[in-house]
C-alpha cells in the first residue's frame, strides 16, 4: 500500500521535532516501542574499533578478522575454538551493561505510560534497564539462551553459568561489577576445554545460540507467551491514541517492526508514527501528517527531552 518514495527529515528543525515528539509521548494513551540494532549502537554496543580490540585482540592476531561480526562467521576448525570466541562475545554483549545509559533514559520517558516493547535485538538491554519483562517481546531470540543445534525439542536453556565457565577457562577474569577483564599482558587461550562444550541434555547434540538465523530457531514457551501478550496489547488498544515509537530499526527485517508500524499508523488516524534513526529516519507519504522523524544519534536525542 505504501509508495517507494519516503519522507526523510533533516536535522535542520531538530529542536522543534523533539518538542513535537515530547508532546506526542505525553498525549499518547499507549506507546509501542519498536527497537532495532541502532538503539544498542547508540548505547555503546559497537562491534569494531577499540571495543573489539579490548576483548578480542588475541583472536584478531590469530585469525585476522577485525570486528565481532566477522568473528561470528569465521569457520573455526573446532568447537573448542568456536565456543571460546562465542562465550566472550555473549558475555560482553549480554551479561555486561551497555556503556551508555540510553535504555535507562528511554525507560524514564515511558515508565508512567501504558507501553509495550517489540525488539529484534538479542542483547537483553531492556531487561537490564529494568523495563517490565511482561511488556517485552524479543522476536529474534536472546544471547542468554542456548538451544539444540538440530532441535529435538522446543526448549531453550539459560547459559550464564556455562558462558562464565568458558570465559574463565580462557584466562579472562570477571570483576566485582560483572565486567569482563581481558588482560593484554598475559597470553590468553583462544580455546576452551572439551568438557565445557555445551550439549543437549535430551539428544547429546551440540547446543547453539537461540538466535533466528534459519528454520531451526526454537520458539519456546516464553517466546509464545510474549508474542501473545504483544498481540493482546495491540488488539485491546486498537482505536486509542497510540504512539508507535521506532528506534534504530533498519531494513534487514522491516517486516517485523517497520512495515507493521506504518500499516497500523495508517489504519488508525488517532495514532502517530515516530522514527529516530542515525541516518534512516523515514516515513511514507501516506502517513506523513501522522509522523515525526528525527535523524541523529538516538541517545543524544533522548537526553534532550
Instruction: Kindly state whether residues 154 and 263 are assigned to the same domain.
Output: no
Is residue 204 situated within a structural domain? yes
158 domain residue, yes or no: yes
* Same domain flag for 76 and 156: yes
Boundary-marking domain end, from 211, 236, 266: 211
Q: Tell me the pLDDT tens digit for each residue of 84-126.
A: 999 999 999 999 999 999 999 999 999 999 999 999 999 999 9
Last residue of a domain, one of 211, 245, 269: 211
Pair (93, 151) in one structural domain: yes
**Residues 197 and 71 reside in one and the same domain:** yes
| pTM of the predicted model over 0.85 | yes
Verify that 81 and 121 share a domain, yes or no.
no
Residues 257 and 281 reside in one and the same domain: yes
Which residues of the chain have a pLDDT value below 70? 1-13
Q: Do 77 and 203 have their domain in common? A: yes
Same domain, 130 and 268: yes
Residue 109 lies in a domain: yes
The answer to the question of residue 1 being in a domain is no
* 18's grid cell: 523533539
Tell me, what's the pLDDT at 12? 46
Is 192 among the domain residues?
yes
224: domain CATH number?
A: 3.40.50.1220
227 within domain boundaries = yes
Residue 293 lies in a domain: yes
- Write down which residue in 187, 211, 235 finishes a domain: 211
Instruction: Round to whole Å and give the CA distance between 110 and 31.
Output: 8
Half-sphere exposure of 274 (CA within 13 A, CB side): 24
Residues 128 and 153 both lie in one domain? no
**pLDDT for res 256:** 97
Same domain (yes/no): 106, 186: no
Q: Edge to edge, what strands does the sheet with 291-295 contain? A: 136-138, 115-119, 30-35, 242-247, 272-277, 291-295
76 with 106, same domain: the answer is no
What pLDDT sits at residue 15?
86
At residue 159, the 3 state secondary structure works out as coil
Instruction: Kindly tell me the burial class for residue 281, based on how many C-beta atoms sit within 10 Å of its own C-beta (0-12, 13-18, 19 or more).
Output: buried
How many domains are contained in the chain?
2
Yes or no: say if 48 and 125 are a contact pair by the CB < 8 Å rule.
no
Boundaries of domain holding 109: 6-42+99-141+220-302
What pLDDT is recorded for position 2?
A: 56
Residue 33 lies in a domain: yes
pLDDT of residue 54: 95
The pLDDT, as a whole number, for residue 61 is: 94
Q: Within this chain, do residues 149 and 83 fall inside the same structural domain, yes or no?
A: yes
Amino acid at each position: 500500500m505504501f509508495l517507494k518514495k519516503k519522507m526523510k527529515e533533516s536535522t535542520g528543525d531538530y529542536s522543534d521535532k523533539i518538542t513535537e515528539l515530547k508532546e506526542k509521548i505525553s498525549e499518547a494513551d499507549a506507546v509501542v516501542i519498536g527497537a532495532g540494532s541502532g538503539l544498542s549502537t547508540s548505547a555503546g554496543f559497537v562491534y569494531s574499533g577499540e571495543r573489539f580490540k579490548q576483548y578480542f585482540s588475541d583472536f584478531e592476531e590469530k585469525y585476522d578478522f577485525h570486528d565481532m561480526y566477522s568473528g561470528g562467521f569465521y569457520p573455526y576448525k573446532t568447537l573448542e575454538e568456536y565456543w571460546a570466541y562465542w562465550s566472550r562475545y555473549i558475555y560482553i554483549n549480554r551479561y555486561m551493561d551497555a556503556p551508555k545509559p540510553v535504555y535507562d533514559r528511554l525507560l524514564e520517558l515511558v515508565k508512567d505510560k501504558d507501553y509495550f516493547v517489540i525488539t529484534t535485538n538479542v542483547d537483553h538491554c531492556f531487561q537490564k534497564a529494568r523495563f517490565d519483562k511482561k511488556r517485552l517481546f524479543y522476536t529474534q531470540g536472546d544471547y542468554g539462551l542456548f538451544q539444540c543445534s538440530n532441535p529435538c525439542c522446543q526448549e531453550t536453556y539459560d547459559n550464564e553459568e556455562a558462558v562464565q565457565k568458558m570465559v574463565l577457562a580462557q584466562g579472562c577474569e570477571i570483576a566485582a561489577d560483572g565486567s569482563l577483564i581481558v588482560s593484554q599482558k598475559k597470553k590468553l587461550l583462544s580455546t576452551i576445554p572439551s568438557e565445557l562444550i555445551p550439549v543437549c541434555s535430551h539428544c547429546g547434540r551440540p547446543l547453539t545460540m537461540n538466535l533466528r538465523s534459519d528454520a531451526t530457531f526454537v520458539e519456546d514457551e516464553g517466546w509464545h507467551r510474549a508474542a501473545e501478550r504483544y498481540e493482546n496489547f495491540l488488539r485491546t488498544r486498537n482505536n486509542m491514541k497510540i504512539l508507535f515509537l521506532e528506534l534504530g530499526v533498519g531494513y534487514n527485517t522491516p517486516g517485523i517492526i517497520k512495515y507493521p508500524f506504518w500499516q497500523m499508523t495508517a489504519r488508525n488516524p488517532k495514532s502517530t508514527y515516530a522514527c529516530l534513526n542515525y541516518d534512516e529516519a523515514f516515513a511514507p507519504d501516506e502517513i506523513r501528517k501522522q509522523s515525526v522523524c528525527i535523524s541523529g544519534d538516538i541517545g543524544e536525542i533522548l537526553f534532550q527531552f
